[in-house]
Amino acid sequence: MTRRTVLGALPALSVAAEKKQGISLAAWSFSGSFFQGKWKLLELPGILRDKLGITVLEHVNQFFENPTLTYLGRLKKACADAGVQSTILMVDGEGGTASPDAAERKRAAIAHRKWFDAGHELGCYAVRCNVYGGAQNWKADRDLVSRAAETMHMMLDYAKESGLDLIVENHGGASSDPDVLVALVKKVNHPKFGLLCDLGNWNKGDDRYASSRKILPYAKGLSVKGTWGPDTDPEFDAEKLVKVALDFGYVGWWGLEVTPRRAQGAAKRPVEEQFAEEVKTVLGAKAIVERVVLRKG
């Protein structure tokens, strides 16, 4: 699959520009049953339609069998048949974008290219990458932001013909430091660059509510996480986190990225039970967004 072949295939969707509230599903919510072999990606759009009543999907590159143009065509058809729209392609495992090694950073930037092509072909509006690499004690790594910004510019240069946004998620370590993320956005200083605000992915001991508020001004996407019901953790209250984003003024897709809770050390659930729990958990998060954001019920 070449850049010229894919970029000429169809215009990129500018979903972020529509400025409407809606619910999407982050495919990772069903990661447990996926890795247990319950379903394949081509089946996921039908699961959204039949089990969840959701029509918008955020992809995960780990679930792709083979991102050839032929396979992407089958995936597009599966989405179209189920009435499902694709928005974000989340990319993992493609190198250290903030590595101290310039050659490694360049390899990481090049490795992401196929996913921009795939995201464009699927009609996504953004590719989500990670900021990994550098010192474990990132607060002492003075050049981390500059190195990451250089890689982001390499990727943005490749992506400019597609019109896709490039977004970085708070996804552990330095990338879950809100001050690092804000500094990165300012350093990159590009209209097609921003953040995916994951309401739950903050470093241990950090205030999730305060950290989310810091990066929401730069959010081009959002992942809903948290606890609710009788097991609500006051430091990780999904409804309160959703209200934080809503009160800030976030408008866009509220991506449900929730997985069933399991006691530490508990045995893995049988696959059918795991799948049923995933459906139940997603529907619980969906009900919160419908009530708080969409004012349903």
Q: Is the dihedral of CA 220, 223, 224, 227 positive or negative?
A: negative
192: left (phi over 0), alpha (psi -120 to 50) or beta: alpha
DSSP 3-state of 92: coil
Mean pLDDT for the stretch of residues 90-103: 98
pLDDT at residue 212 greater than cutoff 70:
yes
Radius of gyration of the chain (CA): 18
pLDDT at residue 11 greater than cutoff 50:
no
List the one residue out of 58, 61, 182 whose CA is nearest residue 112. Answer: 61
How sure is the predictor about 1, in pLDDT bands with cuts at 50, 70 and 90? Answer: very low
Mean pLDDT for the stretch of residues 25-37: 98
Class (C level, CATH) for 3-292: alpha beta
Between CA 85 and CA 174 the distance in angstroms is 32
Q: Is 106 exposed, middle or buried (0-12, 13-18, 19+ CB in 10 A)?
A: middle
Between CA 41 and CA 44 the distance in angstroms is 5
Domain boundaries, the chain: 3-292
List the one residue out of 102, 160, 151 whose CA is nearest residue 130. Answer: 151
